[in-house]
Amino acid sequence: MRTESTMNVDRDNDRDKLFLGICMALLPTAFSFVLVSNILGQLKTEFILTNANVGYIGGAALWGMSISLLTIGPFLEKIGLKNATKCAFFGHLSGVTLFLVGYFFAGDPSAFWILFMGAIGMGFGNGMIEVAGNPLTAALYPDRKTTKLNHFHGFYMGGLVLGGLIGWAMSQIGSIGPVNIGHWTAQMAIVYIPIFIYGWLLFPRKFPKTEIAEAGIPVREMFRYTFSSPKVLGLIGLMILTLGMEMGPMRWIPDVLQAAGLHGILVLVWISGLMFLLRMYAEPLVKRFSPTGMLLGASALTFISLLLFSYVEANILPLMFAGAIFAAGIAFFVPNMIGLMTERFPKAGSLGIVLLIGMGFVGGGISNAVMGEIADSYLPEALDEQSTVQILEQIERKFPAYLNDARQAQDNPEALARLGYREVDVQNILDRTRIALDYYRQNDQFQGAATGNALRALIDTGIPQEAELTQEASATLRPADNYGGRMAFRWVSPIPVVVGIIFLIWFIRDYRKGGYRVEHLEKRQAADGSL
């Protein structure tokens, strides 16, 4: 005979398995992000894509995520948690499959669109896991929301580490006998493994209702409360700043560390690995300091790390130390912000979580753009004037011939493959070079964005016949990009101070009221008198 204690153990086991499944569902998100980044160079060469093309493919994941977060996320209460995870599974599976199908269309103009739509599909799946995973975690562990949200988001960082190491190892090994495991198709096929694992773990199990549904609160009331609560809207505003502090600097940190001799993908592994460990062992910190106290500490650490990055040039050990402090800071922003929303404002439900994450990505995009503008404005100060002018003038003089060769071969895929570049690539380099030189000749100084873009166009395209010139351009641009990035760190470093002051006030107010308090929703009585 089964006792109530035995039944509770069974429920706990099923709950833990369901949580493991939704955590595993973050691995395709992490794998797709890091592996697509790792294979963009191969895609560009094999499909003869432009820099803009690969940029669109690389950015499509965020677009797909935005679609699912902002169009489907607000209606999670109607869709249900299990159906949302099924949508994620379909997005992941169809996205990876479509991406791989692109292999059979190499040389065809439609190949780009196949790859692009495949990336969109993967991004859609990524977003649906965020839509379902955070409310599911809150519903599974109503008394440990912040701790388990740290664990949930820790799996993403762990996936970045694992996926990054797998991608790096496969690229380094190359071929094993007749099989080229470094080829982009082999790397992308790896994403199938976590997709099928989380499908196997999740779909046979019964999903709980969301907190809002369990409490019997109408969806319209959730919407009305969310958009009318100054505190909820204020927390969303803070998320714009906190995720901006994470995503903006993350764009530049690899560049700074690479200038010190560390491989780009290993930079991501280093920071992500530290974030994984911190999130997985966050429970003692959550209990000791509360989410607001941890966010205060995260703001302080982020401020310190940004200052360190702004002053350290190319000394690898201090830079890795700064990276560790940065990881310790930003590791706790997203899970603890979501924890605050679910624990202090549970009536906002899944809508509050979706808006928090979605608007956070907006902040990340803005931060990226702002830091880029700052970096470009300081770039001319670190450029060697003589070397830069010589490079640009060589492009102006020599590249019209390459443009003519590409035009003659544009209707011959084999000839284009032998050349290694397309008309649009050379035209892009020439156009950007002329803009940079025109400004320099008229003003006797460089314009940062124009000059940087001209040099990057040459470096990123990689005209095989101009390998020496490309190396010279890279050697000229690298220290200037490093300096511009460091100055961008310095300019955004006051933001975590402002955010930290807000969390300090919040922490003090909680302390005066007896400490951090978790709010719970009470079940409402149905029309027939039942709960």
Q: Tell me the three state secondary structure of residue 518.
A: coil
Give one DSSP letter per residue of 100-151, joined into a string: HHGGGGTTSTHHHHHHHHHHHHHHHHHHHHHHHHHHHHHHH-TTSHHHHHHH
DSSP 174: -
For 286-327, what is each residue's pLDDT tens digit? 988 999 999 999 999 999 999 998 888 777 788 888 889 999
Give the torsion sign (CA, 425, 427, 430, 434). negative
Q: Tell me the pairing of strands 179-180 and 175-176.
A: antiparallel
Burial class (CB in 10 A: 0-12, 13-18, 19+), 136: buried
Asked if 100 and 185 touch (Cβ cutoff 8 Å), the reply is yes
pLDDT of residue 3: 43
Mean local confidence (pLDDT), 213-242: 92
For 342-398, what is each residue's pLDDT tens digit? 999 999 988 999 899 888 888 877 887 788 888 888 989 999 999 999 999 999 999
pLDDT of residue 260: 65
Asked whether the predicted pLDDT for residue 151 surpasses 90, the reply is yes
Amino acid occupying residue 481: D
pLDDT of residue 7: 39
pLDDT of residue 5: 37
Mean local confidence (pLDDT), 335-339: 93
Q: Residue 87: name the closest of 118, 56, 131, 53 by CA.
A: 131
Please indicate, yes or no, whether the overall pTM of this predicted structure exceeds 0.85: no
Asked if 295 and 336 touch (Cβ cutoff 8 Å), the reply is yes
Give the torsion sign (CA, 378, 380, 381, 387). positive
| Residue 337: both structure tokens together | 């912000």
Instruction: Show Cβ contacts of residue 114 under 8 Å, excluding neighbours closer than 6 positions.
Output: 98, 99, 101, 102, 105
pLDDT of residue 28: 94
pLDDT of residue 149: 93
What is the band of 267 on the pLDDT scale with cuts at 50, 70, 90? Answer: confident
Tokens 């690389």 -> residue: 58
